[in-house]
Structure 1
Amino acid sequence: MPTFTALPTDTVHALRAGGPDAFGNPPEQAVSDGGGNPCRHCLRDIPKGAGMLILAHKPFDGTHPYAEVGPIFLCASDCTRGGGTDLPEILGTSPDYLIKGYSSDDRIVYGTGAVTPTPRITAQLEQIFARPDVAYIHVRSARNNCYQLRVDRDD
């Protein structure tokens, strides 16, 4: 079973302390409206009325043509890092997601990208991981291309 991996806690703590996002800006402070505000650390939806951060995130080291940057949300208050082998709460809020595999040098593995209905996520992950050239997978919003989380092999 693949492992769903949230943003590292030390990265989130730095952002909550006003550290720079992918564009060098401090995260914006906002209040969740309770719909469509998934925290990329606890992998849960941010409750209505709770403080949240909005920031640009690049889930890659360095810059290169495949290093996509996009907006994400984080709980403004401390939350427990999510992840594990169970499908996270944030992947149950949309009818489908964009899933694509990456090589060990952070390049998209062509032929792995697919808009996948939510009930088929696990099967699609297993199909992509059947390819030996895939090191990890990103799950993104199928409508806005926002990064949701990383999926790692269980081996």
Structure 2
Amino acid sequence: PGPFWEAGPVFIHEAACRRRRCNGRLPTVARGGARTIRAYDADHRIVYAENRLVDDPAALEMELRGALIHPDVAYVHVRNSRAGCFAFRVERA
């Protein structure tokens, strides 16, 4: 555990399923509300320079692309800005 270790619910599908592929677009359900983007490197350390608060849901996709352009960013966690809850992970295709 580190300073950002969290306990929370883990949801497991009863039957095997494939990872969701979004073809470069966020699903509509992922765009609602204010979000926090937290970028991580390949060693799972936060890349602070690429973290963002996104108040405008229409700007989320553009902000994610901006964070993922950074060569040190391996993946991004998107969280609900108000509650801090993890929403989803974004990786390069």
Deviation at 1:135, TM superposition (A): 0.7
Secondary structure (helix, strand or coil) at the match of 2:49 reads coil
Q: What 5-or-longer segments of structure 2 have no aligned partner?
A: none
Cα distance change on mapping 1:97 and 1:70 into 2, 3 Å: farther
SS in 2 for 1:111: helix
Amino acid at match of 1:137: V
Please tell me whether the aligned partners of residues 66 and 106 of structure 1 are also in contact (alpha carbons under 8 angstroms): no
Percent identical pairs in the alignment equals 28
Distance 2:41 2:84 in 1: 19
Alpha-carbon distance in structure 2 between the residues aligned to 1:89 and 1:77: 25
Shift of 1:107: 0.8
Structure 1 residue 90 displacement after superposition: 3.0
TM-score, scaled to structure 1: 0.49
Flag the structure with larger Rg. 1
**Residue 99 of structure 1: aligned partner:** 37
- Cα distance, 1:77–1:89 mapped onto 2, change above 3 Å: farther
The aligned residue for residue 16 of structure 1 is: none
Q: Which residue of 2 aligns with 1:127?
A: 66
1:113 CA displacement: 1.5
Question: Per residue, is there more helix in 1 or in 2?
Answer: 2
Code of the aligned partner of 2:69: A
Aligned length: 90
Are the counterparts in 2 of residues 72 and 147 from structure 1 also a CA contact under 8 Å?
A: no
Separation (CA, whole Å) in 1 of partners of 2:52 and 2:83: 14
**CA distance in structure 2 between the aligned counterparts of 1:146 and 1:70, rounded to whole angstroms:** 11
Higher strand share: 1
The equivalent residue for 2:48 is 110
Question: What's the offset of the Cα at 1:114?
Answer: 1.3
TM-score (norm 2): 0.76
